[in-house]
A and B are shown apart, each in its own frame.
Chain A
Amino acid sequence: SQTIHQWPATLVQPVGSPLSLECTVEGTSNPNLYWYRQAAGRGLQLLFYSVGIGQISSEVPQNLSASRPQDRQFILSSKKLLLSDSGFYLCAWSVWGLEAFFGQGTRLTVV
Protein backbone atom coordinates (compact mmCIF):
# COMPACT_ATOMS: atom_id res chain seq x y z
CA SER A 1 0.00 0.00 0.00
CA GLN A 2 1.01 3.57 -0.53
CA THR A 3 2.22 5.74 2.31
CA ILE A 4 3.45 9.28 2.57
CA HIS A 5 5.90 10.49 5.18
CA GLN A 6 6.43 14.10 6.05
CA TRP A 7 8.76 15.53 8.65
CA PRO A 8 9.30 17.16 10.99
CA ALA A 9 5.86 17.36 12.58
CA THR A 10 6.55 20.68 14.26
CA LEU A 11 9.23 23.27 13.79
CA VAL A 12 10.04 26.58 15.42
CA GLN A 13 12.53 28.66 13.49
CA PRO A 14 13.85 32.21 13.91
CA VAL A 15 13.30 34.81 11.24
CA GLY A 16 16.07 34.72 8.67
CA SER A 17 16.95 31.07 9.22
CA PRO A 18 16.84 28.47 6.44
CA LEU A 19 14.13 25.85 6.04
CA SER A 20 14.02 22.34 4.67
CA LEU A 21 10.90 20.17 4.84
CA GLU A 22 11.00 16.72 3.36
CA CYS A 23 8.31 14.46 2.03
CA THR A 24 8.66 10.92 0.71
CA VAL A 25 6.13 8.56 -0.82
CA GLU A 26 6.27 4.78 -0.78
CA GLY A 27 4.41 2.17 -2.75
CA THR A 28 3.86 4.07 -5.99
CA SER A 29 5.87 5.24 -8.95
CA ASN A 30 5.82 8.52 -10.86
CA PRO A 31 3.37 10.25 -8.54
CA ASN A 32 2.39 13.85 -8.89
CA LEU A 33 3.62 15.63 -5.78
CA TYR A 34 2.28 18.76 -4.13
CA TRP A 35 3.08 21.23 -1.38
CA TYR A 36 0.20 23.11 0.20
CA ARG A 37 0.18 25.67 2.98
CA GLN A 38 -2.65 26.32 5.37
CA ALA A 39 -2.60 29.50 7.42
CA ALA A 40 -4.27 29.33 10.82
CA GLY A 41 -8.01 28.86 10.37
CA ARG A 42 -7.78 29.21 6.61
CA GLY A 43 -8.04 27.10 3.49
CA LEU A 44 -5.32 25.33 1.55
CA GLN A 45 -3.07 27.25 -0.76
CA LEU A 46 -1.17 25.33 -3.43
CA LEU A 47 2.49 26.30 -3.40
CA PHE A 48 4.24 23.88 -5.75
CA TYR A 49 3.53 20.77 -7.75
CA SER A 50 5.72 18.36 -9.64
CA VAL A 51 5.13 15.75 -12.34
CA GLY A 52 8.60 14.26 -12.26
CA ILE A 53 12.19 14.51 -11.13
CA GLY A 54 13.46 18.05 -11.45
CA GLN A 55 10.13 19.35 -12.75
CA ILE A 56 8.65 21.97 -10.46
CA SER A 57 5.73 24.31 -11.07
CA SER A 58 5.21 27.25 -8.77
CA GLU A 59 1.78 28.61 -8.03
CA VAL A 60 2.58 31.59 -5.87
CA PRO A 61 5.79 33.63 -6.10
CA GLN A 62 7.18 33.85 -2.61
CA ASN A 63 10.05 33.18 -0.30
CA LEU A 64 9.96 29.42 -0.83
CA SER A 65 11.31 26.94 -3.36
CA ALA A 66 10.79 23.24 -4.02
CA SER A 67 12.90 20.46 -5.44
CA ARG A 68 12.35 16.88 -6.46
CA PRO A 69 15.70 15.11 -6.46
CA GLN A 70 14.18 11.62 -6.62
CA ASP A 71 10.95 10.24 -8.00
CA ARG A 72 9.28 9.94 -4.62
CA GLN A 73 10.97 12.73 -2.72
CA PHE A 74 9.76 16.30 -2.54
CA ILE A 75 11.54 19.03 -0.61
CA LEU A 76 10.34 22.49 0.38
CA SER A 77 13.04 25.04 1.17
CA SER A 78 13.71 28.61 2.07
CA LYS A 79 16.99 30.46 2.40
CA LYS A 80 15.62 33.03 4.85
CA LEU A 81 12.34 32.58 6.64
CA LEU A 82 9.89 35.41 7.14
CA LEU A 83 7.25 35.71 9.84
CA SER A 84 4.63 35.32 7.13
CA ASP A 85 5.98 31.85 6.31
CA SER A 86 4.39 30.48 9.48
CA GLY A 87 1.67 27.95 8.81
CA PHE A 88 0.79 24.33 8.39
CA TYR A 89 2.55 22.72 5.43
CA LEU A 90 1.10 19.67 3.79
CA CYS A 91 2.66 17.39 1.23
CA ALA A 92 0.44 15.28 -1.01
CA TRP A 93 0.64 12.78 -3.85
CA SER A 94 -1.77 11.65 -6.50
CA VAL A 95 -1.98 9.96 -9.89
CA TRP A 96 -4.07 10.95 -12.88
CA GLY A 97 -6.06 13.64 -11.09
CA LEU A 98 -7.64 11.17 -8.74
CA GLU A 99 -7.78 11.82 -5.06
CA ALA A 100 -4.72 13.32 -3.43
CA PHE A 101 -3.35 11.72 -0.31
CA PHE A 102 -1.82 13.96 2.28
CA GLY A 103 0.96 13.63 4.78
CA GLN A 104 0.49 14.46 8.42
CA GLY A 105 1.77 17.98 7.94
CA THR A 106 4.41 20.22 9.48
CA ARG A 107 3.44 23.07 11.77
CA LEU A 108 5.99 25.80 11.19
CA THR A 109 6.23 28.75 13.52
CA VAL A 110 8.63 31.51 12.59
CA VAL A 111 9.60 33.64 15.59
Chain B
Amino acid sequence: AQKVTQAQTEISVVEKEDVTLDCVYETRDTTYYLFWYKQPPSGELVFLIRRNSFDEQNEISGRYSWNFQKSTSSFNFTITASQVVDSAVYFCALSELAGSGTYKYIFGTGTRLKVLA
Protein backbone atom coordinates (compact mmCIF):
# COMPACT_ATOMS: atom_id res chain seq x y z
CA ALA B 1 0.00 0.00 0.00
CA GLN B 2 1.04 3.57 -0.58
CA LYS B 3 2.76 5.14 2.39
CA VAL B 4 4.63 8.31 3.28
CA THR B 5 7.05 8.34 6.19
CA GLN B 6 8.39 11.44 7.87
CA ALA B 7 10.57 10.02 10.59
CA GLN B 8 11.44 13.39 12.12
CA THR B 9 8.65 14.35 14.47
CA GLU B 10 10.16 17.64 15.57
CA ILE B 11 13.28 19.58 14.69
CA SER B 12 14.64 22.67 16.42
CA VAL B 13 17.26 24.87 14.84
CA VAL B 14 18.70 28.26 15.51
CA GLU B 15 17.93 30.98 13.01
CA LYS B 16 20.22 31.01 9.95
CA GLU B 17 20.97 27.31 10.24
CA ASP B 18 20.19 25.03 7.33
CA VAL B 19 17.71 22.23 7.97
CA THR B 20 16.62 19.21 5.95
CA LEU B 21 13.26 17.54 6.35
CA ASP B 22 13.18 13.91 5.28
CA CYS B 23 10.43 12.14 3.37
CA VAL B 24 10.39 8.51 2.25
CA TYR B 25 7.52 7.06 0.27
CA GLU B 26 6.22 3.72 -0.94
CA THR B 27 4.07 3.25 -4.02
CA ARG B 28 3.17 0.61 -6.56
CA ASP B 29 2.39 3.21 -9.20
CA THR B 30 4.88 4.01 -11.95
CA THR B 31 3.48 7.50 -12.37
CA TYR B 32 2.80 9.57 -9.31
CA TYR B 33 3.19 12.99 -7.82
CA LEU B 34 4.91 14.05 -4.64
CA PHE B 35 4.16 17.22 -2.72
CA TRP B 36 5.29 19.32 0.19
CA TYR B 37 2.93 21.44 2.25
CA LYS B 38 3.48 23.93 5.04
CA GLN B 39 1.04 24.26 7.93
CA PRO B 40 1.62 27.44 9.93
CA PRO B 41 -0.01 27.91 13.34
CA SER B 42 -3.15 29.24 11.65
CA GLY B 43 -3.79 25.70 10.43
CA GLU B 44 -4.27 26.16 6.72
CA LEU B 45 -2.16 23.90 4.51
CA VAL B 46 -0.07 25.86 2.06
CA PHE B 47 1.12 24.09 -1.07
CA LEU B 48 4.87 24.43 -1.66
CA ILE B 49 5.87 22.12 -4.49
CA ARG B 50 4.79 19.27 -6.75
CA ARG B 51 7.16 16.75 -8.28
CA ASN B 52 6.33 14.32 -11.10
CA SER B 53 7.79 10.84 -10.73
CA PHE B 54 9.53 11.18 -14.11
CA ASP B 55 11.29 14.37 -13.20
CA GLU B 56 14.18 13.81 -10.83
CA GLN B 57 15.71 17.20 -11.36
CA ASN B 58 16.26 18.99 -8.10
CA GLU B 59 14.50 22.28 -7.64
CA ILE B 60 15.42 25.46 -5.85
CA SER B 61 13.09 28.28 -4.96
CA GLY B 62 14.74 31.00 -2.94
CA ARG B 63 15.83 29.50 0.35
CA TYR B 64 13.91 26.28 -0.35
CA SER B 65 15.28 23.31 -2.26
CA TRP B 66 14.02 19.82 -2.90
CA ASN B 67 15.95 16.64 -3.61
CA PHE B 68 14.01 13.86 -5.30
CA GLN B 69 15.75 10.49 -5.56
CA LYS B 70 13.68 7.74 -7.07
CA SER B 71 16.31 5.11 -6.32
CA THR B 72 15.85 5.62 -2.59
CA SER B 73 12.18 6.68 -2.76
CA SER B 74 12.98 9.92 -1.03
CA PHE B 75 11.85 13.50 -1.51
CA ASN B 76 13.71 15.66 0.96
CA PHE B 77 13.21 19.35 1.63
CA THR B 78 15.98 21.72 2.67
CA ILE B 79 15.57 25.21 4.04
CA THR B 80 18.73 27.28 3.81
CA ALA B 81 19.40 30.03 6.32
CA SER B 82 16.24 29.28 8.25
CA GLN B 83 14.12 32.10 9.64
CA VAL B 84 11.63 32.27 12.50
CA VAL B 85 8.82 32.55 9.94
CA ASP B 86 9.72 29.07 8.72
CA SER B 87 8.42 27.63 11.99
CA ALA B 88 5.54 25.38 11.04
CA VAL B 89 4.56 21.77 10.50
CA TYR B 90 5.66 20.45 7.12
CA PHE B 91 3.89 17.61 5.38
CA CYS B 92 5.08 15.41 2.56
CA ALA B 93 2.35 13.81 0.46
CA LEU B 94 1.91 11.33 -2.37
CA SER B 95 -0.92 11.12 -4.87
CA GLU B 96 -2.49 7.72 -5.33
CA LEU B 97 -4.78 6.68 -8.16
CA ALA B 98 -8.08 5.79 -6.57
CA GLY B 99 -11.19 4.29 -8.08
CA SER B 100 -13.51 6.32 -10.30
CA GLY B 101 -10.56 7.84 -12.15
CA THR B 102 -9.62 10.16 -9.37
CA TYR B 103 -6.70 10.59 -7.07
CA LYS B 104 -6.35 10.75 -3.35
CA TYR B 105 -3.52 12.08 -1.29
CA ILE B 106 -1.55 10.18 1.28
CA PHE B 107 0.13 12.39 3.83
CA GLY B 108 3.02 11.75 6.15
CA THR B 109 2.61 12.49 9.82
CA GLY B 110 4.42 15.80 9.46
CA THR B 111 7.59 17.34 10.88
CA ARG B 112 7.27 20.23 13.28
CA LEU B 113 10.05 22.73 12.63
CA LYS B 114 10.93 25.25 15.30
CA VAL B 115 13.32 28.00 14.34
CA LEU B 116 14.66 29.81 17.36
CA ALA B 117 15.77 33.43 17.22
Contacts and interface: CB of A to CB of B under 8 A. Distances in A.
B102 A32 contact: yes
Interface string B81-114: 0000000000101010111111111111110000
B43 A51 contact: no
Interface string A31-43: 0101010000011
Contacts of A102: 37, 44-45, 47
B104 A101 contact: no
A97 B63 CA distance: 27
Contact of B43 (A46, A59, A88): A88
Given A43-B107, A104-B44, A97 B100 contact: no
Interface string B42-56: 111101001000000
B59 to A, nearest CB: 14
A72 interface: no
A94 interface: yes
B43 A97 contact: no
Interface string A86-111: 00101010101111111111010000
A44 interface: yes
Q: Tell me which of A46, A57, A97 has the highest count of chain B C-beta atoms within 10 A of its own C-beta.
A: A97
Given A43-B109, A97-B95, A98-B33, A103 B101 contact: no
B64 interface: no
Interface of B: 33, 35, 37, 42-45, 47, 50, 91, 93, 95, 97-110
Top-9 shortest CB links A-B = A97-B103, A43-B109, A102-B45, A44-B107, A51-B102, A97-B95, A105-B43, A51-B100, A104-B44
Interface of A: 32, 34, 36, 42-44, 46, 49, 51, 55, 57, 59, 88, 90, 92, 94, 96-105, 107
